[in-house]
Structure 1
Amino acid sequence: MFHHHHGPSADGIRTRATWAELFYDIVLAFGVSQTTHILARSPSWATFGEALLVLTPLWWAWVDVALAVNMVEETHVERLLLLAAGLATYGMGVAAPHALTGHAEAALFAGSYLLLRLLMGEATRRDRPFARTIHPYAAGVAFALALTAGAFMSPPARAAVWAAAILSEAVLPALSSRRLHGMTYSAAHLPERFGLFIIIALGENLLTVGSGASARALTGALIATLVLSFVIGGALWWLYFHLAAPAVEHSMRTHHTPGTVVRDVLSYGHLLLVTGLLLVAVGTARTVARPTGISHDLSTVLLPVGAAIFALTFGYTRWRMFGAASATRVGAGLCLLGLAAGAPFLPAIATLGATAVLLVAVNGLEHWLVATGRSVPLLFQRSAQRPRPSADRLSG
């Protein structure tokens, strides 16, 4: 019925996200917001590690679901799989804030993840109608069983077992590159799926900051903070969707092994982008709490470090796609890291304002370079692979 809208295109590959996928994304958005709460509770390197341990399985689950349904015509089977995956993801999200400390929560988190892995495995094992995923079935289930075993240990042992399992799961796609060569992907649909995830993470930022602000008395400083945080959200959006998103789609169509783009740019690169956005959300929310305060703890550097991770990741993804990184984004990332070094000595709102200025400046510079027909200056160029002129314009 909806074939003109988001069914398969002429070559039998889906071109648009389906409503069922978007429903799954909403459940995932809840899970991502729950990981933000872990870090927001008490920002420290330990809680940042905790947030990453909870976010990473959610991330790989989402990647594998996105890949599994990427080449599939929408059927009732696919819809039911997405709803079942959504329920499992919901369980992970509910358990996330206390998964490393509580017993029932750990069991719910690991059990939901195991259910998700078994569902995915069952769908992809039969190979019709679902495509293959970035993690082989047996490996995905093994990682989930390790989490389940860890759920019944004491919190310190659990953290160690989970960290080992989650790290192995993260490293596996880098090692099993043979698997990527045999996989085919929709060049339109997959980049759209990952772009939607970035939109979700940006929305999480607005949600965290806005709900924090509406719980406080409105002052001039608070309104300034809201405006600046919105400008930062818009500038981060622009960094991704103006040049980077079209570059990913272009690369998916032209790269000699699209599987490496799926692995390095979409799977690993976007995990870094989402991590950066998570830090930005928590850092901005802390600024809303005390706009003019100077605190010498980790919370002051979360915002500039998160924005730096976001900007620098584009250097890495562009290098993987086209053999060179854009100097504008690497430069912006380094400036943001410089700002992070000074952040503990500045009022929170000053760090927020400086971050906004840097992000708007890099977007303005890139817009000017592209609009005047100049090429974006490049770094780390691989001599064997000069970027094509079309790729050169896409500084993503």
Structure 2
Amino acid sequence: MSGHPHVRHTSLLRPMAARGREEEHRAATPLELFFDLCFVAAVAQAGRQLVHALAEGHPGTGIPGYLMMFFAIWWAWVNFTWFSSAYDTDDVPYRVVTLVQMAGVLILAAGIPRAFNDSDFTVVWFGYLVMRLALVTQWLRAAYSTRGEERRTALMYAAGVSLCQVGWLGLLLLPDDAKSWLFLGMAIVEMSVPAIAERRHQTGWHPHHIAERYGLFTIIVLGETVLAATVAVQSALDDDEALDTLLPIAGGGLLIIFAAYWIYFAVPIHLHLASNRQAFAWGYGHYLVFGSAAAIGAGIEVAIEETIGKAHISAFAAAGAVTLPTALFMFSVWMIHSRHHKRGMAQQLVLPVSAVLVLACTYAGRTAVLFTGLVATLTVAVGVTLAARRAEANGRAQEAG
């Protein structure tokens, strides 16, 4: 019986051979999309805790807590994403072990409130343990199926991930005032594992597949911002007295979301990912992209709560909860993503200048979200215009040549 040439059928067991970097039609699988869906719960939990902390006027604890929890979420996603790009066999053991990793993600999500509010990382650590046991199993399967330097790389990954999990035990044993420093140190160690493991042999991750996977996760975190804008609309409909002040937040929030999507997907970034040097910098930099995108949604919720009198902060602080992550998103996307495809000073300056203008919108108080949305929309319009002019000029040059 014949089928589509690119359809992969699940078998009971097959060797875990590396996928080819030049493989055609390499796209995200339903299992990977299902895996990403589990992270929605974790991202939502981190965002919810950030909203509570900022609305209560505790940015000094809320922001560091959010950064730590989002790193835990992001790094768990990164570990699986790069492995699956290199060694997706899609047999029964691979699927079962991936489903176990998903269970670990949900355990992690359940433990975020305790870790955020009480510095109790027990549940978070156990969720990571479940994910790490599954990931190490995958790497050991890869080592068993390969030889030479490729086998050594897989074993280095398995050993590095295992040792890091032991290091995270410090979160359960050390006093609270030392946990932040341990977290910072362990984060650096975690991000060093891939560079050490792939020093002699690079795994066969696929540039187009990786770019697609990161793009899909960007959509997930922007989805959290969509939810925040929806809350604004619902609140406006439930409270007629606040209708005039809440609808601009909803409208501005939607403009920010739409612009963020347009800005991120404006360039074919897979063409830039030629080696580990480019890929690591690009992939690690997405911690800021993902974290700021999710924080925009939290900021919109904070702005809503301040408007209806539920937040114990000023209008300026509530505005900053939206403008700061929006500006960070614009700048970080430009730094690691867009600038590689911009030509000329005008194109290169669009996002950095827009980030500064967004920060200036903080002084607009309760209208800051709307003004930020308008600046973001103008940013897209200017970017599209400059790109069209550049393409037209290149076309004329080719015709003349």
TM-score normalised by structure 2 residue count? 0.79
Residue 346, structure 1, aligned to residue 340, structure 2: no
Letter in 1 for 2:325: G
Letter in 2 for 1:347: G
Residue 279, structure 1, aligned to residue 295, structure 2: yes
Q: Aligned partners of 2:172, 2:115: CA distance in 1, in Å?
A: 8
Q: Aligned partners of 2:74, 2:222: CA distance in 1, in Å?
A: 16
Does the 8 Å contact 2:47/2:66 carry over to 1? Answer: yes
Alignment partner, residue 37 of structure 1: 48
2:38 to 9, 27, 31: 27
Q: Per-residue deviation at 1:280?
A: 1.2
> Which whole-Å deviations, capped at 9, do the CAs of 1:168-210 have from their partners, x for residues lacking one?
324555x648538622222221111110100000001111332
Change in 2 beyond 3 A, CA 1:76/1:346:
same
Uncovered stretches (5+) of structure 2, i.e. residues with no partner: 10-18, 396-401
Does the 8 Å contact 2:53/2:61 carry over to 1? Answer: no
Change in 2 beyond 3 A, CA 1:135/1:305:
farther
User: Greater helix percent: which structure?
Assistant: 2
Does the 8 Å contact 1:329/1:362 carry over to 2? Answer: no
Q: Aligned partners of 2:373, 2:334: CA distance in 1, in Å?
A: 20
Letter in 2 for 1:160: W
Alignment partner, residue 223 of structure 2: 203
Letter in 2 for 1:282: A
2:234 to 200, 204, 214: 214
Change in 2 beyond 3 A, CA 1:145/1:297:
farther
Does the 8 Å contact 1:280/1:303 carry over to 2? Answer: yes
1:4 to 3, 6, 22: 6
Letter in 1 for 2:44: S
Change in 2 beyond 3 A, CA 1:318/1:86:
closer
1:302 to 316, 321, 329: 321
Q: Aligned partners of 2:90, 2:216: CA distance in 1, in Å?
A: 19
Alignment partner, residue 111 of structure 1: 126
Alignment partner, residue 85 of structure 1: 101
Q: Aligned partners of 1:25, 1:281: CA distance in 2, in Å?
A: 18
Letter in 1 for 2:389: T
Residue 268, structure 1, aligned to residue 284, structure 2: yes
Q: Secondary structure at the match of 1:136?
A: helix
Alignment partner, residue 14 of structure 2: none
2:355 to 327, 330, 336: 336
1:144 to 155, 165, 174: 165
Q: Per-residue deviation at 1:339?
A: 4.2
Q: Per-residue deviation at 1:116?
A: 1.3
Uncovered stretches (5+) of structure 1, i.e. residues with no partner: 377-388, 391-396
Alignment partner, residue 156 of structure 1: 177
TM-score normalised by structure 1 residue count? 0.80
Q: Secondary structure at the match of 1:347?
A: helix
Looking at CA atoms only, which structure, 1 or 2, has the larger radius of gyration?
2
Q: Aligned partners of 1:29, 1:326: CA distance in 2, in Å?
A: 38
Change in 2 beyond 3 A, CA 1:277/1:208:
same
> Which whole-Å deviations, capped at 9, do the CAs of 1:106-145 have from their partners, x for residues lacking one?
2110111122122212211232679978983322222222
Does the 8 Å contact 1:39/1:48 carry over to 2? Answer: yes
**Which structure would you say has the larger RCO, counting Cα contacts within 8 Å and 6 or more residues apart?**
2
Change in 2 beyond 3 A, CA 1:167/1:81:
same
Q: Aligned partners of 2:155, 2:364: CA distance in 1, in Å?
A: 44
Number of aligned residue pairs: give it: 366
Alignment of 1:172-211 (within 5 A): 173=194, 176=196, 179=199, 182-211=202-231
Alignment partner, residue 69 of structure 2: 54
> Which whole-Å deviations, capped at 9, do the CAs of 1:344-394 have from their partners, x for residues lacking one?
x43222x11221122111211121122233599xxxxxxxxxxxx89xxxx
